[in-house]
């Protein structure tokens, strides 16, 4: 997503507390006028001759939470070598147009759970597109300006955070709200469910650990208040009972998940004396891979820490609000200028880069992704374009165009890829 688009999402806390298919190697020639997807003639930048390696693709059977798992680790997923559109399902009005924000759904088995613009939570069958149940969040509906922060599914319970400051636990088998917790502070991130706890981060930089069974507050942690931030963000992550939380102030905390005590701490704003932006927000998901914590930020820093000690291993100058993909010794990230980067995971050195087109005749183009799926690196944009690139070379394998702009990162369950448009259409590629 470009920095221009981000400026429209920035807000102040004191004011607001078409069948298509992919071919594996050949570029698909589209009908109509040909338009470049790159911003200049040098579409591919190669910085090294190092051989790029990625792990073998792995099958997953659910997308129960934002970025699939409790570590936010987007790895190499398994899909069909060639993808085609197999289904489209109308989900309804999902786009909170006043802030252009769509909450990412969660999927378990053959059921998708999502929220619409009228504060309804849905469970829908992916086979026939029929609604299984619908629950209206009455408190949110009564407000003139509010939104859903995010969803997380854990066993038979769906947890929901909202911009009105409520946390809901919904029994998906009984289709009823099990409990509600009100905080009177804004949540615009999804919760994290882990063992017997639910972790939520408020927009005024507080972390709360709740009892999953009844919503009781077990402990709380407070960071510095930041007046300027960006709506949305990533859930916290956890590994070996070390909870990593990031705040809009640029602060990164490793907390003991049992009592919220600090294990280690850093503040990216203290590293950023000469950055162009005065927004310290960490929108991109922090990611844990083995004993490393990777933290991309909007303030032109990608930091890598030792999980247990907080020792900085390396850092590079990258500004991003998109998720990392890490497989073997290779890392992929889409920065705020529309550049797709392939980096060496061990030191951050550039392997290749592709500069995607971020405007067309003055009209902004926003990119989402990437997703790595069976040797295809997928990125999508707000004009409905879906690109498949080689993770080894950055060259285009295929491209296809939908008639609706895509507004969320692509995600996957089993061998199917899911895309959601600004019109509320769920495209399923398989």
- Blockwise average pLDDT, block size 10, the chain, 430 residues: 40 36 37 45 65 95 96 97 92 73 90 94 96 95 82 97 96 98 94 98 96 98 75 88 94 97 91 51 90 92 97 95 96 96 95 92 92 97 95 93 94 96 94
Q: Residue 298: what pLDDT?
A: 85
Q: Residue 14: what pLDDT?
A: 35
HEC string of 6-63 equals HHHHEEECCCCCCCCECCCCCCCCCCCCCCCCECCCCCEEECCCCCCCCCCCECCCEE
Q: Residue 300: what pLDDT?
A: 86
Greatest Cα-to-Cα distance within the chain, rounded to the nearest angstrom: 60
Q: Residue 361: what pLDDT?
A: 81
Q: Residue 426: what pLDDT?
A: 96
Q: Residue 95: what pLDDT?
A: 72
Q: Residue 225: what pLDDT?
A: 80
Q: Residue 17: what pLDDT?
A: 39
Residue appearing with tokens 């009564």: 142
Q: Residue 37: what pLDDT?
A: 54
Residue appearing with tokens 């221009």: 4
Instruction: For residue 49, say if its preceding peptide bond is cis, omega within 30 degrees of 0.
Output: no
DSSP bridge partners of 332? 325, 342
Q: Where are the domains of the chain?
A: 1-89+321-430
Distance between CA atoms of residues 225 and 101, nearest Å: 23
Which class does domain 1-89+321-430 fall in? mainly beta
Question: Residues in the chain, how many?
Answer: 430
């Amino acid at each position: 997503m470009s920095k221009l688009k981000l400026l429209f999402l920035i807000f102040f806390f004191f004011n607001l507390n078409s069948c298509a298919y992919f071919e594996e190697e050949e570029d698909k020639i589209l009908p109509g006028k040909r338009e470049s997807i790159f911003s200049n003639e040098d579409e591919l930048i190669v910085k090294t001759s190092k051989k790029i390696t990625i792990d073998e693709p792995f099958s997953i059977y659910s997308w129960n939470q934002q970025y699939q798992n409790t570590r936010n680790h987007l790895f190499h997923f398994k899909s069909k070598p060639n993808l085609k559109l197999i289904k489209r399902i109308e989900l309804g009005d999902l786009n909170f147009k006043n802030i252009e924000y769509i909450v990412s759904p969660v999927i378990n088995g053959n059921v998708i759970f999502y929220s619409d613009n009228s504060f309804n939570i849905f469970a829908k069958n992916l086979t026939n597109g029929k609604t299984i149940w619908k629950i209206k969040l009455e408190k949110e509906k009564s407000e003139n300006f509010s939104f859903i922060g995010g969803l997380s599914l854990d066993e038979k319970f769906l947890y929901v955070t909202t911009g009105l400051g409520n946390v809901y636990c919904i029994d998906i088998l009984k289709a009823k709200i099990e409990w509600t917790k009100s905080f009177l502070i804004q949540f615009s991130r999804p919760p994290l469910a882990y063992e017997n706890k639910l972790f939520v981060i408020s927009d005024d930089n507080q972390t709360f650990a709740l009892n999953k069974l009844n919503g009781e507050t077990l402990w709380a942690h407070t960071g510095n208040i930041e007046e300027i931030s960006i709506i949305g963000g990533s859930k916290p992550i956890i590994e070996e009972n070390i909870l990593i939380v990031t705040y809009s102030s640029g602060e990164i905390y490793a907390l003991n998940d049992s009592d919220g005590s600090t294990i280690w701490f850093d503040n990216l704003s203290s590293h950023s004396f000469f950055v162009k932006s005065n927004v310290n927000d960490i929108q991109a998901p922090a990611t844990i891979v083995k004993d490393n914590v990777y933290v991309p930020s909007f303030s032109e820093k990608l930091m890598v820490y030792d999980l247990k000690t907080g020792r900085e291993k390396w850092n590079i100058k990258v500004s991003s609000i998109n998720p990392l993909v890490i497989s073997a010794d290779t890392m992929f990230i889409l920065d705020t200028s529309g550049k797709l980067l392939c980096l060496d995971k061990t030191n951050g050195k550039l392997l290749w880069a592709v500069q995607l087109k971020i405007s067309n005749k003055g009209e902004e183009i926003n990119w989402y992704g990437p997703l790595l799926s069976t040797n295809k690196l997928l990125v999508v944009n707000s004009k409905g374009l879906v690109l498949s690139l080689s993770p080894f070379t950055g060259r285009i394998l295929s491209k296809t165009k939908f008639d609706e702009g895509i507004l969320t990162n692509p995600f996957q369950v089993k061998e199917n890829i899911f895309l959601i448009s600004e019109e509320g259409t769920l495209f399923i590629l398989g």
